[in-house]
Structure 1
Amino acid sequence: MKPFKFRNFTIHQSGNVFRVGTDGVLLGVLCSANHSEKILEVGTGTGLISLMIAQRNPQAEILSLDINEEAEKLAAENFSNSPFKDRMQTVHQDFKDFETGEKFGLIISNPPYFEENPSEKDILARQQTELSFDHLISKTAEFLSETGIFSVIIPFEAGNEFEQKCLKYALFLQKRIKIFGIKNAKAKRCILEFGFEQRNISESEFVIEKSPRKYSDEYLELTQEFHVFGQ
């Protein structure tokens, strides 16, 4: 499978690992990653989001987990070929069984969001067969620092359910970004950020395309340090 080249790193891909997609790119650029020194990514796949965060935050040490052994090896290869390799580590690990004495200033995930279904495509990455919202949230609450941020991108219609599940673990919504695939359409995704601190919720909207196959100005501006456009 053809590698996906960004300005400062290259993502090698595999047919058995969830590929580079817009959701990952958006979470990588929109999450609150600039001030955390220790970051954990749950379900790293190719390592895209972790690499974007490493580029954004030169102080961050990043640990990236994946239950899929092939994904973990692929992410490790992508990390080792990047200029950020000294600050990045991968672990082949089921997050439900993950243990550490460390706390993280940012825990980030593009989690599986479909209920279990007969589809055979990208089962681990797309379906909640191995990592449910409940497992993700409960383990995050265990490892998030007192002032840390939990950041996810999920389907917009799942947002309310996810917020309610987080409340059970005293994780309060701090930021909500509504993602629109195209201008004037219904919201497609949302980026949600939670923490143990209760504060005013930051609300914003983001449009990916201004018309079919034409990126919006805000998308081009936001990703200009990552994407290689026009090549």
Structure 2
Amino acid sequence: MFSFKQFTIHQDRTAMKVCTDACVLGAYADVSGGRILDIGTGTGLLALMAAQRNREARVDAVEVDAAAFGQAVENVAASPFGAHVDVIHRRIQDFGADGKRYDRILTNPPFYTNHLRSPDAAVNRALHTDELPFQELIDAVVRLLSPIGQWWVLLPPYETETLSELAQNQGLNPFRTLSLRHDARKPIFRLITGLSFQPSEHQEEQLTIYEPDGRTYTTFFRDLLRDFYLIF
């Protein structure tokens, strides 16, 4: 269980647990607009963070894994934002036949390709690209994103480069990147990228989570997560 200031995430039945980089995505991504989509919601974390930040939006949270779907439904129902978030049990490849478009899409997708598999099918589904290859994810975003919308995605550096190249082939261009480091001596371990159909200058920022002592959170991190983390 992970308790935030305004909601609690139970995660005993989900393969993808709450992690710092996902929380940064939920706090950093632009979630303005009336319709928000969370692809692969897992516990419902990103959907609930978006609903807390934008009380006027309708948030659709899509999840393919049955156990994770059930847990997300429970987490949303127990939160103050249940009336604003719909959790849907479906493959994103099959979602959205009604032609609805979203102002913002959030994704913390699986990215392992040739890594050793777990005996747990849910873990493989959450971490490996077998059931949601990057090209199929991009196809879904192209179909579901508003022409003036934004897609925010969290990936390691190499996978970000791969996905960005594929996305640009379909007219989605990176306009902002946030690089995440544990501390100033460590390499970049995740990138949060905003993509859009609209041409725009690419802006880059960097977030270091800890001060050089490896224990004290930086001001940037504290300010970003202040509305969510109980320790701030």
Q: Flag whether TM exceeds 0.5 (same fold).
A: yes
TM-score with structure 1 setting the length: 0.94
What secondary structure sits across from 2:182 in the alignment?
Answer: strand
Q: Partners in 2 of 1:116 and 1:124 — Cα distance? A: 14
Report the residue type matching 2:107 in the other structure. S
1:81 pairs, out of 72, 78, 81, with: 78
- Identify the residue that residue 114 of structure 1 maps to in structure 2: 112
| Partners of 2:173 and 2:180 in 1: CA distance | 20
Q: Which runs of 4+ in 1 moved over 6 A?
A: none
Q: In percent, how many aligned pairs have the same letter? A: 28
- Select which of 12, 15, 32 maps to 1:14: 12
Q: Secondary structure at the match of 1:25?
A: helix
CA distance in 2, matches of 1:186, 1:117: 21
> Aligned equivalents of 1:100 and 1:70: distance in 2?
26
Q: How far does residue 15 in structure 1 lie from its aligned partner after superposition?
A: 4.6
Higher strand content, 1 or 2: 1
CA distance in 1, matches of 2:219, 2:164: 30
- Name the CA distance, whole Å, in 1 between partners of 2:158 and 2:183: 17
Instruction: Report the equivalent of 2:55.
Output: 58
Q: Which residue number corresponds to residue 29 of structure 1?
A: 27
Q: How far off is 1:229 after superposition?
A: 0.8
Deviation, structure 1 residue 36: 1.5
For 1:158, the equivalent position in structure 2 comes to 159
**Secondary structure, aligned partner of 1:228:** coil
What displacement does 1:4 show? 0.8
Alpha-carbon deviation of 1:197? 0.3
Amino acid aligned to 2:176: K
The SS at the match of 2:179 is strand
2:231 aligned with 1:229: yes
Q: Is the 8 A contact 2:149 2:196 kept in 1?
A: yes
Question: Partner amino acid for 1:17?
Answer: A
User: For residue 146 of structure 1, what is the aligned residue in structure 2?
Assistant: 147
Matched letter for residue 219 of structure 1: F
Distance (whole Å) between structure 1 residues aligned to residue 210 and residue 126 of structure 2: 25
Distance 1:63 1:106, change over 3 A: same
Query: C-alpha displacement at 1:217, in angstroms?
Result: 2.1
Structure 2 residue matching 1:178: 3-state secondary structure: strand
**Aligned length in residues:** 227
In structure 2, C-alpha distance between the alignment counterparts of 1:7 and 1:67, rounded to whole Å = 28
RMSD: 1.3
Q: Is residue 37–residue 61 contact of structure 1 (8 Å, CA) maintained in 2? A: yes
- Stretches of structure 2 lacking an aligned partner (at least 5 in a row): none
Measured after TM superposition, the shift of residue 221 of structure 1 is: 1.6
**Equivalent-residue separation in structure 2 for 1:144 and 1:197 (angstroms):** 12
Q: Contact 1:23–1:110 (CA<8 Å) still a contact in 2? A: no
Structure 1 gaps of 5+ residues are none
Rounded to whole Å, the distance in 2 between the matches of 1:141 and 1:71 is 25
Name 1:90's counterpart in structure 2: 87
| TM-score normalised per structure 2 | 0.94
